[in-house]
Each structure stands twice: as C-alpha cells, then as structure tokens.
Amino acid sequence: MIAGLVQNGVAMEAAVFYRRMVRVGEKGNDFCFTSVLSAFSTLANLEHGEMVHCRAVTAGFCFDVILGNTLVDMYFMCGSSTDAQFSLLGACGIHGEVGLGKRSAGKAIELEPRKDRPYVLLSNMSAEQCQWCVKEMLRERLGYSNVRKDAALSWFPVSEAN
C-alpha cells in the first residue's frame, strides 16, 4: 500500500498510512521501510526519515542493500550529505566494498574532519580484510588529528518514534 502511494506521487499519504500502521502495532518489513523512506526522501523530511531508519535497524534490516541505497538517497535529498556519506561508508563495511569505502571515508572526513565515525568504520573494514597495517595507520591518524573515540561508547540521537 505504501509503495503504491509513493509510486503514484502521494508521499504525504504514504507517510500518514505508515504512521497509522505503527500506531496499531504493525512492525513492517524491508519493503515497507524502503517505501516509507522513499516517501520521506520525496518530502525532504529528515527527522521522520531518521526515525524510520532507527526502526529499520532495530527490526534487523540494516543489511538490506535496497534499504541502504534508499537511506543514502533519503539523506542526500534531505540535505544531510554527511549522513549520506556515513550510510554509504557503513554499507561498504557490511558488504566488503573496501575501495568504495575508502573513497567514501575520505569524503566523510572532508565533510566532518572532527568526527571519529569514518575513521572507526574504515579501521574496522580494514581489520575485516586483514589489512592490519592500514588499520594501525588509521588509528595513528585518528590520534594525530586530535579526534577522540571514547572507549566502548557509541551513540546516535533517537527521537520519539511514534
């Protein structure tokens, strides 16, 4: 239903339908999340798109390629190029796309040089590929740039989802 509404150019109705669906306790699937994220992309509604992103991750759909592509699109369409770069970088890590991940990390570092996230994601990606020298170089670079990663502390903003 949501996909049909989005495809027929009534993104606001799709968003309203999704909200009703959540209120009655429906969880949604990867297709639902992709469709509603597309609606929020069309509406350039970053706040609600982030809430749906959080719900999709919580529901276990963070590894879906189509959903990941829609997330990157949604963040760009909502004017958050940094979050789009981070989403792309995270997807590269999940799917082993090291070359694209390096380019994406470079762009993310250009956009937000004080954030630790691109360094950490690229370091993890290098470790998964057994590129220990690259991982160590990234850790050193992180230290030299005065960007600090608090040990065992990761967070992201979570807004009211209902």
Helix-strand-coil split of the chain, %, nearest 5:
70, 0, 30
Share of the chain above pLDDT 90, in %: 31
pLDDT band at 67 (very low <50, low <70, confident <90, very high): confident
First to last CA, the chain: 20
Mean pLDDT of 45-66: 87
pLDDT on residue 134 = 66
CA distance 120 to 112: 14
111 neighbors 81 (Cβ within 8 angstroms): yes
Better-scored residue on pLDDT, 124 or 68:
68
User: Does residue 33 register a pLDDT over 50?
Assistant: yes
Highest mean pLDDT among 20-34, 121-135, 145-159: 20-34
Q: Give the domain ranges of the chain.
A: 1-79, 81-151
- Tokens read off for 95: 């799917």
pLDDT band at 161 (very low <50, low <70, confident <90, very high): very low
CA distance 155 to 114: 16
37 neighbors 53 (Cβ within 8 angstroms): yes
Q: Is the pTM of this model over 0.95?
A: no
Better-scored residue on pLDDT, 30 or 91:
30
Mean pLDDT of 8-24: 94
C-beta pairs of 41-44 under 8 Å, 24+ apart in sequence = 41/70, 41/73, 41/74, 41/77, 41/78, 42/6, 42/11, 42/77, 43/11, 43/12, 43/15, 44/77, 44/78, 44/79
User: Does residue 162 register a pLDDT over 50?
Assistant: no
User: Does residue 124 register a pLDDT over 90?
Assistant: no
